[in-house]
Structure 1
Amino acid sequence: MIEAIGLGFGSLDLHGDLAPDGSAGLLDWLGLGRDIPILIWLTSLLACFTLTGVALQNIAVAMIGGPLAWWLACGIALLLGALLNTLAANGLMRIMPSFETTVISTDDLLGRRGVILEGTARRGAPARAKVVDQYGQAHFIMVEPHNDRDEIISGQSALIVRREGPIFFVLPDENTQLKPI
């Protein structure tokens, strides 16, 4: 049900801010406004509710000789469980891996330097090259020399100048016009 609601209302901004200056909202206080998936947060809340409810009823049996009324026990367990879940969610957030993805177009590799990994790049015979993008991610592409007479051997660096379909065309770094001033 939560997943279905998330699909329908995923774009809504549902922050229940308690402080007018925006310092801490209700969802942040409950531990939900952070980088923790809602299903993990909900599981943690239910576990905290269950543990506090069982502990509360055991204490009531030991102290007054019988369990509390269900509505009273549920209300107290929900309040204490929510407080305990705040601590649990903050602890879980520290150990949860954070995911950050980046997507670039293949045309964003143009103008970057790559290193030939396997083979010798000749016109009509591409070689495999490794290029690192602006986010530090390695891309493995097939390259051919831009000029018909060039050959780029394994381990040599080259500048990517254009792309036609899946093949990138490169100029070897030995070209003096490509050296920085």
Structure 2
Amino acid sequence: MLDFLGASQNVLFSAAIVLMLLIGIVQAIGFAPVDHGFDADLDSDLLSWLGVGRVPLLVFLVLYLACFGLAGLIGQQLSHDWLGALQPLWIAAPAAAVVALPATALAVRAVGAVIPQDHTTAIPVDDLIGRAATIQVGRATPGSPARARVVDHFGQAHHLMVEPDNPGQTFEEGEAVLLVRREGETFRAITRGDHRLPTL
């Protein structure tokens, strides 16, 4: 068996299996994140057929390496049994690469069905513009922002620095304001009236 796996005609397939196992081990002990996407157009027929986007990039890579390595080794074993010789790599490797594509597509669909999908409530910070905020700490004047709290449409609270958009305006603690624009890390706001909201 070791002679077969270490044969020069099989070294690429054996290396793919070893690399797949190493990636799996590294991932299992937590040294590598799996949440990497593809910077590719997912509308592509080939990418869609392969299942790109259904699983994280590292999982896709592991599945392809496994399919490529197994396709090559199985193909070489069949060649040895039927033809009495192993095929040279320049024949076996492209054949295994082609066979691995549909095999990977099937594996991705099977794995994607059982892997929990990530759902994020993260939003771009500019999406907070137009929402109401409450001054929490400090007194906001032009050029001197105060800390405010705003809740996004997911119900997540964000704390940010706010200052009045209009000259001469002042916001006190507990005052409700409306975020109208952002300059760097500071939001500009206008008053929503002279009523106050409870400080949370």
TM-score by length of 2: 0.48
Distance 2:180 2:119 in 1: 35
Partner of 1:129: 148
Partner of 1:69: 87
TM-score by length of 1: 0.52
Q: 1:122 to 1:39 in 2, by over 3 A?
A: closer
SS state at 1:69 partner: coil
Q: 1:92 to 1:143 in 2, by over 3 A?
A: farther
Distance 2:78 2:106 in 1: 22
Partner of 1:53: 72
Partner of 1:115: 134
SS state at 2:172 partner: coil
SS state at 1:175 partner: strand
Distance 2:192 2:148 in 1: 12
Query: Would the aligned equivalents of 1:129 and 1:140 in 2 still touch at CA under 8 Å?
Result: yes
Identity over aligned pairs, percent: 25
Distance 1:45 1:122 in 2: 56
Query: Would the aligned equivalents of 1:35 and 1:98 in 2 still touch at CA under 8 Å?
Result: no
Partner of 2:104: 85
Amino acid at match of 2:104: N
Residues paired across the two proteins, number: 152
Question: Aligned-pair distance for 1:88?
Answer: 2.7
Amino acid at match of 1:52: A
Question: Aligned-pair distance for 1:50?
Answer: 1.6
Query: Would the aligned equivalents of 1:145 and 1:171 in 2 still touch at CA under 8 Å?
Result: no
The alignment's C-alpha RMSD in Å is 4.7
Distance 1:175 1:57 in 2: 79
Distance 2:85 2:161 in 1: 69
Question: Aligned-pair distance for 1:89?
Answer: 2.7
Query: Would the aligned equivalents of 2:68 and 2:97 in 1 still touch at CA under 8 Å?
Result: yes
Deviation digits for residues 128-157 of structure 1 (CA, Å, limit 9, x no counterpart): 00223456663512235979696632xx35
Question: Aligned-pair distance for 1:48?
Answer: 1.4
Structure 2: stretches of 5+ with no match in the other structure: 1-37
Question: Is residue 166 of structure 2 the alignment partner of residue 142 of structure 1?
Answer: no
Q: 1:99 to 1:169 in 2, by over 3 A?
A: closer
Amino acid at match of 1:86: A
